[in-house]
Amino acid sequence: MLSAQDVAHPKPAPDLYVELARALGADASDCVALEDSPTGVAAARAAGAFVIGVPSLDGVVLADAHLVATSLADPRVLARLA
């Protein structure tokens, strides 16, 4: 598990996503990121990940995500993660 304290630049920089992918032996472009904030979406996109935005608070707009869902139970989310 990694956090902002483990990278030189926190979100919205892509560092955390790049480091997470590296730790998994993957390229960030092969990863799917689940995000609930515009800052997180920006970081994941900058890393090259496919971003699924699932707002956790009313009024949060995640228009820059590749896919926006109202819940993790959305069939489109499950299909992308399969």
| pLDDT over 90, % of the chain | 90
* 71/45 Cα distance (integer angstroms): 20
CATH class label, 4-81: alpha beta
Domain boundaries, the chain: 4-81
Structure tokens at 3: 């956090």
Note the pLDDT tens digit of each residue in 23-62: 999 999 999 999 999 999 999 999 999 999 999 999 999 9
Task: Taking each helix axis as running N to C, give the angle between helix 15-23 and helix 38-47, from 0 to 180 degrees, rounded to the nearest 10.
Answer: 60
Report the DSSP pairing between strands 32-35 and 50-53: parallel
How far is it, in rounded angstroms, from Cα 82 to Cα 70?
18
Indicate whether 82 pLDDT > 90: no
Q: Residue 66 — left, alpha, or beta (φ > 0 → left; ψ -120 to 50 → alpha)?
A: alpha
- Indicate if the pLDDT at residue 81 is higher than 90: no
Whole-angstrom Cα distance, residue 47 to residue 41? 10
